[in-house]
């Protein structure tokens, strides 16, 4: 789905009406999505007073290949002529040499890139986190809780899990989404909302004019219940302290609960989601807005109109503009 397809033309239109079944390729995040997410993150840091030391390019420009001084016409190229990119080092190129050569923007530290290329594991702190001590501090706290979750055996769910599913997103996010628990795809990948329901959630977030990297996504339980059933009350109770700590660290300005399970547990209510959705509530002083779970919307497309109304309310609560085409 393109950005233009996912944004409403006016207040009455519903971009979620077009969020149906699509090909696997269309559900994968594009380079443009990633570039936009990076730009949004840099813009947020810039707004908080951080100066990147280099000019922010348009996401489309960021994806353009370098222009050579002279390029032959395509028709003049011999058939089957391989065209190599000078910007991609050959397999024999030493990664540390690649990291230490070539110009870098002033806001990106060469030392960090050298360290990242020399380590066998991915670095946990990026140049953006280095420039934002608060974000770095929150990441470190979340990583520590994640380590505790991976070792957790407080309920029987740990016996059948492939991976724990902690959470993903911006540790300084203003908006936090909370679901019920991992499904098969999440259990396999160790990340929340990566299956079909997750793809729809991504599109819902983009329709709001945001990006998955700018919000935080978590679940009530961190291990997959067998058969994708709802987690039992005892399982929710055992796992909730981890989510409570995530909320305390992230300090979101708004929590959107997705479906019955997180809504009932977080708000300590037995009222169903069809009556609770769109009704602003509160948890520990934080506004909570219940809405339908994306999996429900895949089974019941007629609910997308109400879900879009809830997302528009979320934007209003956060004082964010409604995106227009």
Owning domain of residue 158? 110-317
- Contact by Cβ (8 Å): 199, 240: no
- Which tens digits make up the pLDDT trace of 103-140? 444 444 444 334 444 434 433 444 555 568 999 999 99
Mean pLDDT across the stretch 167-196?
Answer: 96
What pLDDT is stored for residue 228 in this prediction? 85
In a domain, residue 64? The reply is no
Helix axes 304-317, 196-207, angle to 10 degrees: 50
Percent with pLDDT over 90 in the chain: 57
> In this predicted model, which residue has the larger pLDDT, 4 or 310?
310
Mean pLDDT across the stretch 198-210?
Answer: 96
- Which tens digits make up the pLDDT trace of 10-25? 444 566 665 554 443 4
Which residue do the tokens 């420009």 mark? 61
- What's the pTM value of the predicted model, to 2 decimals? 0.66
Instruction: Please give the mean pLDDT across all residues of the chain.
Output: 76
Residue 78 pLDDT exceeds 80: no
What pLDDT is stored for residue 49 in this prediction? 61
Mean pLDDT across the stretch 219-229?
Answer: 94
In a domain, residue 322? The reply is no
What pLDDT is stored for residue 110 in this prediction? 43
Residue 86 pLDDT exceeds 60: no
In a domain, residue 164? The reply is yes
- Both tokens assigned to 83: 């065209």
pLDDT band at 162 (very low <50, low <70, confident <90, very high): very high
Residue 27 pLDDT exceeds 90: no
In a domain, residue 278? The reply is yes
Question: What is the CATH classification number for the domain harbouring 261?
Answer: 3.40.470.10
Mean pLDDT across the stretch 180-202?
Answer: 96
Number of domains in the chain: 1
Q: Which of 135, 126, 137, 167 is nearest to 38 (CA)?
A: 126
In a domain, residue 16? The reply is no
In a domain, residue 45? The reply is no
In a domain, residue 204? The reply is yes
In a domain, residue 28? The reply is no
pLDDT band at 324 (very low <50, low <70, confident <90, very high): confident
Mean pLDDT across the stretch 211-235?
Answer: 95
> In this predicted model, which residue has the larger pLDDT, 54 or 222?
222
pLDDT band at 323 (very low <50, low <70, confident <90, very high): confident
Which residue do the tokens 């280099």 mark? 54
- Which tens digits make up the pLDDT trace of 225-235? 998 899 999 99
Phi/psi of residue 266, each to 5°? -65, -35
The C-alpha atoms of residue 220 and residue 166 are separated, in whole angstroms, by 10
- Contact by Cβ (8 Å): 158, 149: no
Angle at 174 between CA 192 and CA 266, to 5 degrees: 60
What pLDDT is stored for residue 55 in this prediction? 55
Q: List Cβ neighbours of 32 (8 Å cut-off, separation of 6 or more).
A: 59, 60, 63
């Amino acid at each position: 789905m393109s950005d233009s397809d996912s944004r409403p033309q006016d207040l009455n239109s519903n971009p979620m009406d077009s969020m149906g079944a699509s090909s696997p390729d269309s559900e994968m995040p594009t380079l443009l999505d990633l570039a936009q997410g990076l730009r949004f993150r840099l813009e947020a840091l810039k707004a908080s007073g951080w100066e990147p030391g280099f000019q922010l390019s348009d996401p489309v420009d960021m994806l353009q290949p370098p222009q050579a001084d002279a390029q032959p016409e395509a028709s003049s190229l011999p058939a089957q002529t391989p065209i190599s990119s000078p910007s991609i080092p050959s397999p024999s190129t030493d990664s540390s040499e690649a990291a230490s050569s070539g110009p870098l923007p002033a806001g990106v530290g060469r030392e960090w890139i050298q360290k990242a290329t020399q380590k066998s594991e991915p670095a946990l702190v990026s140049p953006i986190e280095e420039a934002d001590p608060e974000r770095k501090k929150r990441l470190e706290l979340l990583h520590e809780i994640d380590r505790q979750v991976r070792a957790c055996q407080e309920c029987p769910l740990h016996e059948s899990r492939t991976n724990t599913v902690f959470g993903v997103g911006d540790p300084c996010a203003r908006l936090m989404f909370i679901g019920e628990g991992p499904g098969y795809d999440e259990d396999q990948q160790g990340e929340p909302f990566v299956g079909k329901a997750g793809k729809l959630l991504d599109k819902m977030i983009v329709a709001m004019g945001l990006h998955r990297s700018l919000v935080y996504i978590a679940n009530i339980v961190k291990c997959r219940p067998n058969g994708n059933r709802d987690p039992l009350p005892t399982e929710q109770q055992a796992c909730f302290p981890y989510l409570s700590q995530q909320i305390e660290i992230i300090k979101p300005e708004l929590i959107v609960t997705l479906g019955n399970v997180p809504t009932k547990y977080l708000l300590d209510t037995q009222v169903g989601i069809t009556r609770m959705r769109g009704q602003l509530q509160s948890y520990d002083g934080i506004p909570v807005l219940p809405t339908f779970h994306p999996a429900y919307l895949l089974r019941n497309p007629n609910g997308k109109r109400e879900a879009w109304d809830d997302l528009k309310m979320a934007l209003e609560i956060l004082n964010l503009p409604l995106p227009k085409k």
